[in-house]
Amino acid sequence: MQENTHKEKSALDNLKPRAAFKVGLLSGLAVMFVIGFLILAGVLINGGDEKISKNDNGAVVNQPTNPGVAQPPANNNVVVQPVTKDDWVKGDKNAKISIVEYSDTECPFCKRFHATMQQVLADYEGDVNWVYRHFPLTSLHSKAIREAEATECAGEQKGNDGFWAYIDRMFEITPANNGLQDSQLPEIAQYVGLDVGKFQECLDSGKYKDKIQDQIAEAQKTGARGTPYSVIISGDQNIPIPGALPYEQVKAMLDPLIK
């Protein structure tokens, strides 16, 4: 080692000052380039992994104002408002288990999870019901609040059945991500058999804005940081479902609760 070092010093000593300066400058730039490359590579690798993990089960992106995939609290037993007569409930209202979903009609992951929940109700008929509550992510989906109001107007006119008929049809036809046109809202109303004139009057009144804002606040208090965010209520257990889990994973969570 001493011999090699000595030779390197002798070689540098033999260079003219200007040449030695150039060699030193180029060496320094080379080291900075390597360090910068390694830092950039690390950022890209970590960012790519984060994107994949966030998109596997649910929604959107990790932003301070609109964080993405819903993350369950560490205690795995969240506090959620109990189901009441004012909720929109699909399935047997006396079922042992309720799944409360906070959802956004323009969220593509909510569209996927809507189909999953339809399968859950079909396979667990009488044992599980589905409670729908609003959580439109307004900074991503500007149309979602008005669409949520439209579902409430459908419920006002035809009760629980009218609400579910309307929202099922909405999720069936929406391309998501603000793709549903406002002109399609009365078309859906007509499709499910509502009085379109009364529906439009209700929608234009904005009478359900406060209800939807209250449910947004409730969702956030419950622990929702993105959509869909759902909670299984079974006895004294409130178990969060983080994002748009596939049917098989939801089933694995439900089966131990059904005896």
Q: What residue numbers bound the domain in which 12 lies?
A: 2-57
Whole-number Å distance between alpha carbons of 191 and 75: 44
Q: Are residues 38 and 99 in the same domain?
A: no
Alpha-carbon dihedral of residues 191, 229, 219, 233, nearest 10 degrees?
Answer: 100
Q: Are residues 213 and 159 in the same domain?
A: yes
pLDDT in tens, 105-121: 999 999 999 999 999 99
What CATH code is carried by the domain that includes residue 226? Answer: 3.40.30.10
Whole-number Å distance between alpha carbons of 233 and 256: 13
Whole-number Å distance between alpha carbons of 97 and 72: 19
Stated pTM of the model: 0.73
Whole-number Å distance between alpha carbons of 257 and 233: 10
Domain count of the chain?
2
Q: Are residues 110 and 217 in the same domain?
A: yes
**What was the pLDDT predicted at 78?**
86
**216 CB-contact burial (10 Å; exposed 0-12 / middle 13-18 / buried 19+):** buried
Mean predicted confidence (pLDDT) in 188-215: 98
Higher pLDDT pick, 7 / 207: 207
Q: Are residues 127 and 245 in the same domain?
A: yes
Domain-located, residue 79: no
Q: Are residues 48 and 102 in the same domain?
A: no
Whole-number Å distance between alpha carbons of 245 and 239: 13
**What was the pLDDT predicted at 22?**
55
Q: Are residues 92 and 25 in the same domain?
A: no
Q: Are residues 46 and 108 in the same domain?
A: no
Whole-number Å distance between alpha carbons of 250 and 130: 13
- Tokens 């500007």 identify what position? 142
pLDDT in tens, 222-234: 999 999 999 999 9
Q: Are residues 10 and 101 in the same domain?
A: no
CB 90 within 8 A of CB 244: no
HSE-up (13 A, CA, CB side) for residue 236: 0
Q: Are residues 117 and 25 in the same domain?
A: no
Q: Are residues 14 and 110 in the same domain?
A: no
Longest distance between any two alpha carbons in the chain, whole Å = 96
Q: Are residues 223 and 129 in the same domain?
A: yes
Q: Confidence class of residue 40 from pLDDT cuts 50, 70 and 90?
A: very low
Structure tokens at 175: 């391309």
Higher pLDDT pick, 197 / 14: 197
